[in-house]
Chains A and B, each alone.
Chain A
Amino acid sequence: EDKVVQSPLSLVVHEGDTVTLNCSYEVTNFRSLLWYKQEKKAPTFLFMLTSSGIEKKSGRLSSILDKKELFSILNITATQTGDSAVYLCALYNNNDMRFGAGTRLTVKP
């Protein structure tokens, strides 16, 4: 069965720290890998990755996909308390969207 595994499951850091969240997968075929941020209820879109080795950046957040080693990472630099959330990774293959369990990030002042 296709699997999406995120690590760590939870992480506590202090403001200003840099964090790296991991998403590894055992999916035979997919169209895109997506990252979402979920604070209270509705997940909000962060990145869509389709090609290996091309970094996507948005402010302090960046992400990259490695199709050879079957993983993606989400980096957050200079973390702020507003970055506290659950970060979800998902694989989309046209028919199904499969999510990882998420990483709960807590940023302390």
Chain B
Amino acid sequence: KAGVTQTPRYLIKTRGQQVTLSCSPISGHRSVSWYQQTPGQGLQFLFEYFSETQRNKGNFPGRFSGRQFSNSRSEMNVSTLELGDSALYLCASTLGGGLETQYFGPGTRLLVL
């Protein structure tokens, strides 16, 4: 079974721009979660989508948004990029019962200049 895939793997943007990241879960998984990892703040939960609905949300500003499609693929969007948004963005998928059994993707490394 193929693992969680994320595209693109690396991205460079400038302040003020917006960015969309994509995550394809493991086949059959219906829940996708997104995380931000930075050296200063560590790994932080952004949000979780299940069956096309946002089920949980972390403590991030509204510039961070996401969505999930009927095939469980998910996208995360960050608008009006700031330098502090430079991070590794990880997504993880699970069947849907809970996040304990989640599998992480390789991440997208975003650099904001």
Contact = CB atoms under 8 A, between A and B. Distances in A.
Contacts of B103: 45
Contacts of A102: 42-43
A99 B98 contact: no
B100 A96 contact: no
A99 B43 contact: yes
B42 A97 contact: no
B50 interface: no
B interface residue count range (under 10 / 10 to 19 / 20 to 34 / 35 or more):
20 to 34
Interface stretch (B12-20, B70-78, B79-87, B104-112): B104-112
B45 interface: yes
B101 interface: yes
B113 interface: no
Contacts, number: 46
Contacts of A90: 43
Contacts of A48: 100
A31 B106 CA distance: 26
Contact of A96 (B58, B104, B106): B58
Interface stretch (A19-27, A36-44, A68-76): A36-44
Contacts of B101: 45
Contacts of B102: 45
A94 B98 contact: yes
Nearest to B40: A101
Given A32-B100, A96-B56, A101 B105 contact: no
A90 to B, nearest CB: 8
A98 B45 contact: yes
A59 B58 CA distance: 34
Interface of B: 4, 33, 42-45, 56, 58, 88, 90, 98-107
